[in-house]
Structures are given as structure tokens and as C-alpha cells.
């Protein structure tokens, strides 16, 4: 299940729909509007089945937030590029399936992808060759 934070622009949501990428948005289809980031959203994710949560909020890129039941993705890109990078991550060979994403805290940016994996001490970088 793909979940978008409220901070993902309408134009980006429309683009995802045009690409037939299914998602739910905080405040619309899941949760409530105005949910406080980590205080409200993390407990909500615990109630959902294997969600991948996308946000433009850097506060979600913290190793201590790792959990086997969800994936958090920080889109460290311009607001109007979110849809492109969401699609790229969901198609990336290392993140293509729900099972591959669980337990990860991911940072997506122009220069590449880095992530924290559950039960590992070091941040990993995805090489250009893995795309």
C-alpha cells in the first residue's frame, strides 16, 4: 500500500494517477487532515498492512524509525518532482516489491538513493549500477 503525506502537491498526485500508480493520501483516504508528522503518522502506519509512506519531510529519515511493518521514504527533491521520483523508486530493482521495501527508511534525491535497513548499523547507498 502506497501512502502519500499531505505535503505532496495535487499536481504530483494527478501525475501518479495518470501513470496508474495507486495510492492513498493522509487526510483524504486514510488518517485525518492535519496529522502531526511522527507523533500521529507512525502509529497510523502500524495499523496498516505493509505501507510505504512518501513524504517531503526530512524528519522521517531517521534510523530509529525503522520497523519491519512499513517503509518510510523522504523525497529530498523539489516539490514538483515528487511523482517522478516516487515512480522511479517503485520501479527500482532494489525497491520494486513491497517485501523489498519493508524495514527501510529511504532518502531519494537527484544524486541517488540511500537507506537505513532494519537490523543494520550503517546507512547504505544504492549504486548507479543497481538501477
The pLDDT of 15-23, averaged and rounded, is 97
Distance of CA 100 to the CA centre of its chain: 13
Angle between the 82-91 and 10-18 helix axes, to the nearest 10 degrees?
A: 40
Q: What is the pLDDT of residue 128?
A: 59
3-state secondary structure of 126: strand
Length of the chain: 131
Q: Is the pLDDT of residue 38 over 80?
A: no
Give percent of the chain with pLDDT exceeding 90. 77
Amino acid at each position: 500500500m502506497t501512502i502519500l503525506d499531505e505535503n505532496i502537491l495535487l499536481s504530483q498526485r494527478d501525475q501518479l494517477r495518470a501513470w496508474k500508480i495507486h495510492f492513498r493520501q493522509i487526510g483524504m483516504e486514510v488518517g485525518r487532515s492535519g496529522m502531526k508528522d511522527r507523533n500521529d503518522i507512525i502509529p497510523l502506519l502500524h495499523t496498516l498492512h505493509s505501507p510505504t509512506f512518501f513524504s517531503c519531510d526530512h524528519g522521517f529519515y531517521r534510523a530509529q524509525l525503522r520497523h519491519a511493518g512499513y517503509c518510510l521514504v523522504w523525497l529530498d527533491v523539489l516539490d514538483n518532482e515528487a511523482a517522478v521520483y516516487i515512480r522511479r523508486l517503485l520501479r527500482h530493482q532494489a525497491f520494486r516489491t513491497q517485501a523489498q521495501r519493508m524495514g527501510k527508511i529511504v532518502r531519494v534525491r537527484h544524486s541517488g538513493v540511500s537507506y537505513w535497513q532494519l537490523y543494520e548499523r550503517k546507512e547504505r547507498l544504492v549504486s548507479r549500477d543497481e538501477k
